[in-house]
Amino acid sequence: MFRFFYFLLSISLFSYSQDSQNIESQIKSFYDHSLTSGKSYEWLEHLSNQIGGRLSGSLNAERAVQWSKEELESLGLDKVWLQPVMVPKWVRGNFEYASIESSTGNSINVSICALGGSVATPNRGIRAEVIEVKSFVELKKLGVDKIAGKIVFFNRPMDPTKINTFSSYSGAVNQRTEGAEEAIKLGAKAVLVRSMNLSNDDFPHTGSMYYGSVKLKDRIPAAAISTNGANLLSSMLKLDPKLKFFIKQNCQNYPDVLSYNVIGEIKGSEFPNKIILVGGHLDSWDLGDGSHDDGAGVVQSMEVLNQFKSLGVKPRHTLRVVLFMNEENGLRGGSKYANIANKKREDHLFALESDAGGFTPRGFSFDSSDSEFDKIKSWKKYFKPYLINEFTQGGGGADIGPLKSTGTILSGLRPDSQRYFDYHHSSQDTFDAINKRELEIGAASMSSLIYLVDIFGF
């Protein structure tokens, strides 16, 4: 009897260890494949250098849609399709410039760029006094008397003491998104926002801004100023609070245009109706080529399905890649995707997004129940050899966010964040800022997590 139990126990221990070894070995093959014969870097080179910046509504965005559809088709997936979605069309125009006019005839050019969604200045530009503020509270205290007719200069820097730079971003970005709307209430003529950048340099960083319910005729231009420009303006204002600032830009909003989410899938062998999603966003800002934001997430997501096909791993659940359109200035692709999924009553078990740059991955965040998170944490051991050890509870990502209402577990790849805001939304976000290995280790980490979700389920 004793011997029989021991026999059963041995069998069970043996199988467990076998399974665990198989899993470890499968995960190692994802990393080895990505680092030796993965496609992510080559794909990103094409998307960044041969296509380039791909703002929603632009010809380049459509080139990216066609190219990524063809690449997914070449992988031999079970299905590849385009999901139509109407997107905003905002264009930067052909000029944007600004200068600090310290006295008649004396002026210093500073680097600015229009914020996405901003209206143009009048043709003659805007020349006005500047009032510097660090917060909306400070703005309101100054009131109409001090603000009316002036350019409001939001100059609260990102907090350098946060280790997670996305926290620093969260603490400063309302100046960019809501600054104009707040300044309009007090009669400002334009808004200038310190770039969301932790470095001191000459590159302005764009990004979305919104006018809320402000009528078209009441809207004022909004631009980002480089951090060096902001520091210069701030110190010159201390010497001469009456100096004038000149700004001219001819960006423009057009009616919405048709675009697409690009989708591909491998049908699940056991649970074809349960979907595991992996994705990033195909659109980017227009100043750089969007290599980190979010070309990296696009090619890493494509690579996950490429790895399953190339390595002959047949998923039990349906594995779907979604390249979302219009994350940057509207989130129309993410909303549309969830909307269609709800209408079709699709069951999304898990969704993983990569939209935090192509840097060395440090971990994943998860938006799940505590018990699901406990299960996920039991997989940390598989990531130990790859130095992936930050498993945190928190959001997954903007594009997959709308899936939350139907109970999908959301997850986000969390790369090292120290360099991200040096590039984010600026002309510096280009392919040469990508390290091949960092990108590839990120892709393999995503394949590994998706694989664990597929074999263990929820």
Which residues participate in catalysis according to the annotation? 327
Residue with smaller CB distance to its own copies, 34 or 408: 34
Amino acid identity of 95?
Answer: F
Residue with smaller CB distance to its own copies, 335 or 418: 418
Stretch that binds its own copies, among 133-141, 175-183, 184-192, 432-440 (CB under 8 A): 432-440
Which among 147, 229, 144 has a CA at the least distance from the CA of 193?
Answer: 229
Residue 193: φ, ψ to 5°: -120, 130
Residue 126: φ, ψ to 5°: -125, 130
Stretch that binds its own copies, among 161-169, 248-256, 312-320, 327-335 (CB under 8 A): 161-169
Q: Are 369 and 393 in contact (CB under 8 A)?
A: no
Amino acid identity of 339?
Answer: N
Least CB distance to its own copies at residue 231 (A): 15
Least CB distance to its own copies at residue 43 (A): 17
- Single residue of 35, 91, 243, 311 touching its own copies by CB under 8 A: 35
The DSSP letter of residue 11 is H
- Single residue of 422, 429, 430, 448 touching its own copies by CB under 8 A: 422
Spatial distance between the Cα atoms of 368 and 381, rounded to a whole number of angstroms: 20
Stretch that binds its own copies, among 27-35, 117-125, 219-227, 311-319 (CB under 8 A): 27-35
Least CB distance to its own copies at residue 71 (A): 22
CA distances from 156 to 168, 202, 227, 318 (A): 11, 17, 11, 46
- Single residue of 231, 386, 398, 458 touching its own copies by CB under 8 A: 386
Least CB distance to its own copies at residue 108 (A): 24
| Helix H or strand E encompassing 118 | none
Spatial distance between the Cα atoms of 193 and 117, rounded to a whole number of angstroms: 14
Least CB distance to its own copies at residue 199 (A): 7
Residues ≥6 apart with Cβ < 8 Å to 7: none
> What is the contact mask toward its own copies in residues 103 to 142, using x (rule: CB under 8 A)?
----------------------------------------
Residue with smaller CB distance to its own copies, 274 or 414: 414
Spatial distance between the Cα atoms of 148 and 242, rounded to a whole number of angstroms: 14
419 is an interface residue for its own copies by CB under 8 A: yes
- Number of residues this chain uses to bind its own copies (CB under 8 A): 26
435 is an interface residue for its own copies by CB under 8 A: yes
252 is an interface residue for its own copies by CB under 8 A: no
385 is an interface residue for its own copies by CB under 8 A: yes
19 is written with which tokens?
A: 């399974």
Stretch that binds its own copies, among 61-69, 133-141, 326-334, 430-438 (CB under 8 A): 430-438
Q: How much of the chain is helix, strand and coil, in % rounded to 5?
A: 40, 25, 35
45 is an interface residue for its own copies by CB under 8 A: no
Number of H helices, E strands in the chain: 13, 16
| Helix H or strand E encompassing 255 | strand 252-266
Spatial distance between the Cα atoms of 142 and 42, rounded to a whole number of angstroms: 53
- What is the contact surface with its own copies in residues (CB under 8 A)? 31-32, 35-36, 160-161, 163, 165, 198-199, 360, 362, 385-387, 389-390, 416, 418-419, 422, 435-438, 441
